Amino acid sequence: MPEFVTVEVSDAIATIRIDRPPVNALDATAQRELVAAAAEVSHRADVDAVIVTGGDKVFAAGDDIAELAQLRPGDAPAIAAEVQAALGCLTTIQQPTVAAISGYALGGGLELALGCDRRIIGDNVKLGLPEILLGVIPVGGGTQRLAALIGPGAAKDLIYTGRFVGATEASELGLVDQVVPPDEVYAAARRWAVQFVGGPRRALAAAKAAVDAGLLDPASGYRTERELFAALCDTDDMREGVRSFLAAGPGRARFTGR
C-alpha cells in the first residue's frame, strides 16, 4: 500500500493526493509513489481527467533536504535522473490534468505542478524554486518547464533569486491559470476536470501530445539540467547551503563560490 500518495476515482475523475506531513516534502518514497500513481491513472479506462493536490496548508514544499544532505557527489548523476523522471511524471498522464494548489508549492512541489496542463491556486499561495539558496539548481524539470511556460527572462529571475511569488504575481506571470479563495481550490479544479468526462479521450491525448512535443527538446535541455545539478553536488557552496538550511532555514548560507 502507498504510504504518502493515494489515488481516488470518482465519477471518472481521479485525484492524486500527496499526504506526507508536515509539509509534503517529496522524499524518494513519495517520488516513487507519484510515478506509480501517474502510471495507474494514465492507463485506467475509467479515468477521463486527473486532479493532483496536497493538503489544505501545503501542496508540496519541495524535496527532502535531509536526503540531499546525504547525497554523495558520485551518486548525483543517477539520483538527478531519478528525480527528474519522478517530478516530471505528471507529463506522462494521457488525460487532462490540473494541479489544485493550496498554501505552498516550492522547489520540487512547484516542479511537479508544472507538469500539469493547468494550475489552480488559492489566493494565499506562495510559489517558488528556492534551490539556488542551497547552492544548486532545480533538477525536476524546473529550468525547462518554467522557461517554456513564462519565458526565459521571468524564469531566470525566479530561479536566480529563489524568491517566492504570491497569487497575484503568479497570475500576472502566467505561472498559474486561475486564482480562487483557498477553500474553493479543489472544487474549482473539479469543475475544470468534469468538462472532459465522457469526452473524446484519444483526441484529447493526441492534442496534449502534439502541444507538448513542440515545447521542449528533452534530449538537450533535460540532459543539461541533470549534468549541471550533478556537478554542483560536489561544491562547497552546495554543502554550505544544505548545512545552513538544516541548521537555520533557507536564505542564511554564506557562499564562497567554490
Q: Is residue 149 part of a domain?
A: yes
* 111 is an active site residue: yes
Q: What is the pLDDT of residues 64-111, one digit of tens each?
A: 778 878 878 888 889 889 999 999 999 999 999 999 999 999 999 999
Q: State if pTM tops 0.85.
A: yes
Q: What is the pLDDT of residues 100-144, one digit of tens each?
A: 999 999 999 999 999 999 999 999 999 999 999 999 999 999 999
- Residue-wise DSSP of 112-144: HHHTSSEEEEETT-EEE-GGGGGTS---SSHHH
* 8 is an active site residue: no
Q: Is residue 104 part of a domain?
A: yes
Q: How confident is the model at residue 68, as a pLDDT?
A: 78
Report how many domains make up the chain: 1
Q: How confident is the model at residue 216, as a pLDDT?
A: 63
Task: Report the chain's terminal Cα–Cα distance, integer Å.
Answer: 44
Domain containing residue 54: CATH number: 3.90.226.10
Q: Is residue 216 part of a domain?
A: no
Q: How confident is the model at residue 219, as a pLDDT?
A: 67
Q: Is residue 242 part of a domain?
A: no
Q: Where in the sequence is the domain holding 180, given as residue range(s)?
A: 5-184
Q: Which of 33, 111, 225, 240 is catalytic?
A: 111
* In contact, 89 and 35? CB cutoff 8 Å: yes
Q: Which residues pair with 14 in a beta bridge?
A: 9, 50
- Residue-wise DSSP of 57-76: S-SB--B-HHHHHT--GGGH
Q: Tell me: pLDDT of 206 over 90.
A: no
Q: Which of 3, 8, 82, 131 is catalytic?
A: 131
Q: Is residue 243 part of a domain?
A: no
Q: Is residue 219 part of a domain?
A: no
